[in-house]
Structure 1
Amino acid sequence: MKRLIALVCSSLSLHAAAANVSDEVTAFLKQTMQEQRIPALQVAVIRHNQIVKLDAFGTANVENAVPATRDSIFSINSCTKAFTGVAIMQLVEAGKLGIDDPISRYLDDLPAAWRAITVKQVLTHVSGLPNIIDSKENPIGDGSDASAWATVKTLPLEFPAGERFKYNQTGYVIIGKIIDKLSGQPFARFIEQRQFNVVGMPHTRFGDSSDVIPHSAGGYSYLRNENGEWKPGDRLSAIYVTFPGYFRTAAGILSNADDIAHWLIALQSGKLLKNKSSLDVLWATVVLNDGKTGGMNALLNGSALGWPVTTRAEHPAAGPIGGMRSTFFVYPKDDLSVILLTNLQGANPENFADEVAAYYIPEMHASNGFGLPPHIKTLRAALLRQGFEHAAAVYADLKTANAAFHPSEEEINDWAYLLFAQKQSKQSIAVLTLNTELYPNSWNAFDSLGEILQKAGDKTKAIENYRRSLKLNPDNTNATAHLKEMGAA
């Protein structure tokens, strides 16, 4: 009897702990939604091949005040590429394709300069191919499939294949053509039959804003595209996105967190890919010609087969992102996955996926220094002991103790912005001040300090630093705009 009571108590305790974690994740996500003005968000968390959290918050359709539910459907945009990567590995397992094969082995109508480019290189965005969309993300040519394909083939390579990473959509048009040929059916049908139907994904389909989608979460944005550059604004706008048929290997899937969670479980349990080694290939970072790796940003610093990856010693991840609004992060070494879908372009949930994961693996909390570069971790630890107000002296001591200690300007800058996001404005300003002392000829260092001082309410010092930045770089339009905004231009 005592043993039974102990087991029951232990079980109740575990359930209570799990409920507490779920509540903490909910509170964090609702706060993030409020801060970033995200209308709707769906979340799913998978641990040990079990869905341990599945929820939806906010407003799916702002115009009609329709609440988001677990059934709401979101566009996952370029997260589609992850499904395309899996489709390619299914063809590899079937013996129909090799990822190191040249694309010309499967397609005849290619320019001579493209013929030696490999399947892996197009999947990982290191091909050097010209882009089939323009800076405003519209297809080149007259807008038709045939015109876009004919036009892109007349353009020169941007760099030799494998030389560097550059995000590119043309490669996925090519991959679609290869899947069509090797599977004997349109790639969308191949993915539906070999993935959606196998897993059981009743809410998932190919489509875009032109389709009537039951339970659609729509799409919204505070951003505007000016000459290819995304700029924030205060007006919420509905966005209308169409994906031509040939483009849907790159960005054509609509789904929800529940379906994607089941897809990830199937992927990692041998239901979609038979061999464990296939997953290793799928998520392996491509190596450039110089032996280095390249990726989309400091977080997603590597590129695999349709999957951006985070290469780091602790808790590495594979994390597709789509439309600046959706992501799912898989942590293979931790048997953990986090799915975050929103209906706001610019929400960039990849930036807080790690923080959601941290509620299940506490050492991953940003407040514990997780994700910081090694030199920044060293600097952080010393500043926590001795005080951020002594930043210059602390840095000098660390440099004396280790001549190789040399955090970069960008690393310091990124950390300072993270501190500010964590509501540590004094610490952020101290770190940015240190950056201007270490890099006194950097206009960006003074510009960043000016920006944080302005946000912190210190108008006088903000103006001073913006002016110093302009002195170093008279073309700094950001400083000019902010000085004008503060009446100091």
Structure 2
Amino acid sequence: MLVNEKLIMKKQYQFLLYFLLSIVFNVSGQNIAVQKQIEDYILEVQQQYEVPGISLCVIKGDEVFYKKNFGFANIEHSVPIKKTSIFRVYSLTKPIIAVTVFQLIEQGKLSLEDAISKYIKGLPDSWKDIQVKHLLTHSSGLPDMRVFGSGAELTEQSAKEKAFKESMRFSKGERYDYNQTNFWLLHRIIEKITGEKLADFIAKNQFEGERTNVFFSSDSKQIVKNRVTSYFPFATGTMIIDLPTIEGDYMFAANGLNITLDELVKWDKRLKENKLLKPETKMKMWETFSYTASDKVFGYSWNKITRNRHDSYGFTGSLITAYRIFPKDKLSIFLLSNGLGKIYDIDTVVDKIANIIDKDIYNVQEQTFYKLYQILEDKGLADFKKSYKTLNELPNYNELNLEEMVNSLGYTFLRNQELQKAIQLFTFNTQQYPNSANVYDSLGEAYLIQNELKLAEKNYQKAIALGGTNGNAKEMLVRIQAKKKK
């Protein structure tokens, strides 16, 4: 080989090496920048909402894209969150229970159409034809055990006796109504079918027998090695150690899972690799349930959240834990925390993390809200109405809840003391959604603030005629009558 040929080949090799290194460096640099953005955002959330400790993990493809612990597992003793920290995930337990139910369905031991009376005896007559699917989708219409009290004195027997005396809240399948009684029943159905304790069956069939870093306990006061202390502001308005909730073993299916971040990540991997459920069974579990009198988008104990045509499935627990999987994007986000000082929407935090990783994943509702707000501010109601009418041409139109959006815009102007704009928006919403009690309730509120008592009264009465707004419209009418007398 000639010398000049060797030099040419050397230069070609060097060029290729530099080219490959530049790609690697650039990708690595991009990842570092994104990871820094995630970290800055979580630190901001932690400070703003007084979150004691957070354990966060993002899986992209088959790799851990980002994983870090923040803050304290126990504030009083300055114990940091670490790899071995165990979180009580509260209602994030429910998707695990859904997987258990669908495992039994795969085995031919259970059906979504089964009446619960097939497995549980001694139920009130009005409960007997409730089906398994109604429990999973919170559409049973059953009275909710969580309203009966808390603590060790609320035994399973006393909770059951109280529930059995209550009337049904609505007809089965009608609408979504979050309810812990549903999961007490699922707990007992699972144990009846398997002949095993719920905790034992789930450990064996979902967590490869792990019992140290995955276990069930609905009592946050119980002393457990490595478990984080939970803190909430609900009892006093400031953050204190978690008060007793419904603690008994009978509530394990509703709120009892305790787990480390690593074990939850392993569980997610098994779910993705179809080791927990067959692909078709998993898709059935995520399928949107058809309520007879509601447009609620919800699967079988899984929230379905779509962000700019990116479908995701997951759940949250007690405002402090969240898990979300974007199957087509091969993205999973885990956010486990041990409390908060101020209430915030943890799903919004998950949305933001997803958006930092992939700019195409964004909340269409939120972005449209701000665009319409700006149009109202800059151009007025006429241009707002024109823009509103074009929204149904958007490819992601089905992600928009326009009734809720216009209502939120109305309240934004109400808080800004721009009363006339608020009334215009609420009035527009009643024209678009004449069968919604909520829009008339909102318009009534604006008129009440304006001291237009007759118009306020008229709209609250309309809200009541359309089914009411959980007693608010009736309460407001009482206040109007008192105001009239003065």
The alignment's C-alpha RMSD in Å is 3.6
Question: What is the Cα deviation at residue 380 of structure 1?
Answer: 4.9
CA deviations on 1:424-445 (whole Å, 9 max, x unpaired) are xx99959986333222697747
Which residue in 1 is equivalent to 2:463?
none
Contact 1:201/1:259, CA 8 A, preserved across alignment: no
Give the Cα–Cα distance (whole angstroms) in 2 for the partners of residues 399 and 90 of structure 1: 45
Percent sequence identity over matched residues? 24
The change in CA–CA distance for 1:400 and 1:152 in structure 2 (over 3 A counts) is closer
**1:363: which partner in 2?**
360
The runs of 5 or more residues in structure 1 that have no matched partner are 225-231, 295-301, 421-425, 449-464, 480-489
Identify the match of residue 292 of structure 2 among 285, 289, 293. 289
TM-score, normalization by structure 1: 0.77
**CA–CA separation in structure 2 for the residues paired with 1:400 and 1:328:** 35
Instruction: Give the structure 2 partner of residue 186 of structure 1.
Output: 197
CA distance in 2, matches of 1:22, 1:401: 37
CA distance in 2: counterparts of 1:148 and 1:236, whole angstroms: 28
CA distance in 2: counterparts of 1:167 and 1:400, whole angstroms: 34
**2:233 match: secondary structure:** strand
Distance 1:10 1:189 in 2: 49
Q: Give the letter aligned to residue 157 of structure 2.
A: A
Question: What is the correspondence of 1:253-264 to structure 2 with a 5 Å cutoff?
Answer: 253-264=257-268
2:346 maps to 349
Task: Note if 1:434 corresponds to 2:421.
Answer: yes
Alpha-carbon spacing, 1:152–1:23, altered in 2? closer, same or farther (3 Å): same
What are the superposed Cα offsets for residues 406-458 of structure 1, whole Å, 9 maximum, x if unpaired? 985631343688xx8xxxxx99959986333222697747979xxxxxxxxxx
Higher helix share: 2
1:252 is the counterpart of 2:250: no
Measured in 1, the distance between the counterparts of 2:321 and 2:391 equals: 42
User: How does 1:125-274 map onto structure 2 within 5 Å?
Assistant: 125-134=138-147, 143-197=154-208, 203-207=213-217, 208-224=219-235, 233=237, 235-241=238-244, 243-273=247-277
Quick one: structure 1 residues 73 and 347, their matched pair in 2 at CA, closer, same or farther if it must change by over 3 Å?
farther
Equivalents in 1 of 2:423, 2:70: separation in Å? 42
- CA distance, structure 2, for counterparts of residue 353 and residue 245 of structure 1: 30
Shift of the 151–430 alpha-carbon distance from structure 1 to 2, 3 Å rule, reads closer
Q: Does residue 35 of structure 2 align to residue 22 of structure 1?
A: yes
Distance in 1 (CA, whole Å) between partners of 2:227 and 2:59 is: 24
- 2:365 is aligned to 372
Aligned-pair CA distance for 1:164: 1.3
Give per-residue Cα distances to partners, 1:238-277, cap 9 Å, x unaligned: 113352111101100112322212211111111211x101
CA contact (8 A) 2:303 2:314 kept: yes
**Per-residue deviation, 1:151:** 3.2
Matched letter for residue 172 of structure 1:
F
Distance 1:416 1:135 in 2: 36
Is the 2:419–2:450 Cα contact (8 Å) retained in structure 1?
Answer: no
2: distance between equivalents of 1:178 and 1:135? Answer: 22
Residue 339 of structure 1 pairs with residue 342 of structure 2? no
The offset of 1:35, in angstroms, is 1.1
Alpha-carbon shift at residue 78 of structure 1 (Å): 0.6
For residues 294-350 of structure 1, what are the alpha-carbon distances to aligned partners after superposition, in whole Å with 9 as ceiling and x for unaligned?
2xxxxxxx2222222225661222121111211111122322111111111544412
Taking a change above 3 Å as real, the CA distance of residues 411 and 9 of structure 1, as seen in their structure-2 partners, is same
Question: CA offset at residue 203 of structure 1?
Answer: 2.1
Distance (whole Å) between structure 2 residues aligned to residue 239 and residue 138 of structure 1:
12
Secondary structure at the counterpart of residue 51 of structure 1: strand
1:398-477 to structure 2, matched below 5 A, reads 398=387, 410-414=404-408, 429=416, 434-439=421-426, 444=442, 467-468=449-450, 472=456
Question: How much has 1:136 moved relative to structure 2?
Answer: 5.1
Q: 1:321 to 1:30 in 2, by over 3 A?
A: same
- Superposed displacement of residue 125, structure 1: 0.4
Given the alignment of the two structures, is residue 317 of structure 1 paired with residue 306 of structure 2, yes or no?
Answer: no
Look up the SS of the partner of 2:102 in the other structure.
helix
The whole-number CA distance in structure 2 between the counterparts of 1:469 and 1:349 is 37
**Structure 2 portions without partners, runs of 5+:** 1-12, 428-438, 461-471, 477-486
1:101 aligns with 2:114: yes
CA gap 1:59/1:397 in 2 versus in 1, 3 angstroms: same
Q: 1:390 corresponds to which letter in structure 2?
A: K
Return 398-407 or 39-48, whichever deviates more. 398-407
